[in-house]
Each structure stands twice: as structure tokens, then as C-alpha cells.
């Protein structure tokens, strides 16, 4: 059984699975870009942001880098493709609580990267969206006795 911190990542992957581009987690980027593009999530460490006295509830936020790579013949085509990909991701996550796993999701604007370490990089455009997941737990993992 997954712990709460991993459950929110699994919930994010499930929500993004509705996208036609396959979603991977922390994979190295392949040598070539598939025709539909790439979505790769890279979770950062969860950060405890608060504690509710009397309830034992701990508040967390977990940033997740969503790496996106698309291809196109021209810069304009690549820009349109990355915007479309980011728009679909935004539509999938807007208003979602990942089936009750998170309280809130915040997304940054796409940060474009011109350096994509793949064959045919001149026809590729990469971008990263930082998705921050906000949720609560009743357990501090540092207090668990094994």
C-alpha cells in the first residue's frame, strides 16, 4: 500500500493518463521524441508547511516538475504544440482534487527550454510546468517508529 506522499503522485499520474501522450515518471528522456510528444513527471521532496494544533494534521506541499517535449518542422509549429499540450494538462488538472488526495493544485506557466538532449533537437521544443500539490496527513514520517 502506498503512503500518502506517494499516493498523491500516483493520483497525478492517473489524472494525466487521460492525455493521449504517454506519461512517465522520472524516466530519462528517450533518444528520439515520439510523434505525439513526451510527458515526464519528476516529483520533488514534500515540504511540511504547517501543523494544526489539537488535530495532529500536518499540511504539505509537493512540487512536481512536468517535463514536456514536442516536435515540429518550424518554431511556430513547436510553440503551438507545446501550448496545446500545456492547455490539455491544465484542463485535466483544473478544479481537480485527484479523487480527494489533495486539497489544491497550483500550476506555473510553462518555462521553455531550447536545450533538449535528444536526436533531432533542432526540431524539438521542451518546456517545464511546475505543479504544486497541497494536501494534509495525520502522520509525520519522522515520528514513525519501526
Measured in degrees and rounded to the nearest 5, phi and psi for residue 123 equal: -105, 10
Architecture per CATH, domain 4-136, reads as 2-Layer Sandwich (3.30)
pLDDT, tens digit, 9 for 90 and up, residues 110-133: 887 767 777 777 888 899 999 999
| pLDDT confidence of residue 98 | 93
- Whole-structure pTM value: 0.85
Residues of the chain with pLDDT under 50: 145-146
Q: Could you give the CA distance from residue 83 to residue 77 in angstroms, rounded to a whole number?
A: 10
Q: Could you give the CA distance from residue 134 to residue 131 in angstroms, rounded to a whole number?
A: 10
Strands (E), the chain: 23-25, 38-43, 47-52, 57-71, 104-107, 111-113, 124-137
Amino acid at each position: 500500500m502506498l503512503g500518502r506522499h506517494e499516493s498523491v503522485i500516483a493520483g497525478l499520474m492517473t489524472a494525466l493518463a487521460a492525455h493521449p501522450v504517454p506519461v512517465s515518471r522520472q524516466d530519462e528522456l528517450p533518444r528520439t521524441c515520439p510523434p505525439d510528444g513526451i510527458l515526464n513527471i519528476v516529483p520533488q521532496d514534500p515540504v511540511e508547511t504547517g501543523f494544526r494544533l489539537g488535530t495532529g494534521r500536518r499540511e504539505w506541499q509537493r512540487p512536481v516538475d512536468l517535463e514536456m517535449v514536442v516536435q515540429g518542422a518550424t518554431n511556430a509549429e513547436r510553440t503551438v504544440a507545446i501550448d496545446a499540450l500545456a492547455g490539455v494538462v491544465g484542463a485535466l488538472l483544473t478544479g481537480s482534487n485527484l479523487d480527494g488526495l489533495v486539497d489544491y493544485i497550483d500550476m506555473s506557466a510553462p518555462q521553455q527550454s531550447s536545450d533538449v538532449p535528444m536526436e533531432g533537437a533542432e526540431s524539438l521544443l521542451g518546456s517545464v510546468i511546475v505543479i504544486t500539490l497541497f494536501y494534509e496527513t495525520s502522520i509525520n514520517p519522522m515520528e514513525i517508529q519501526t
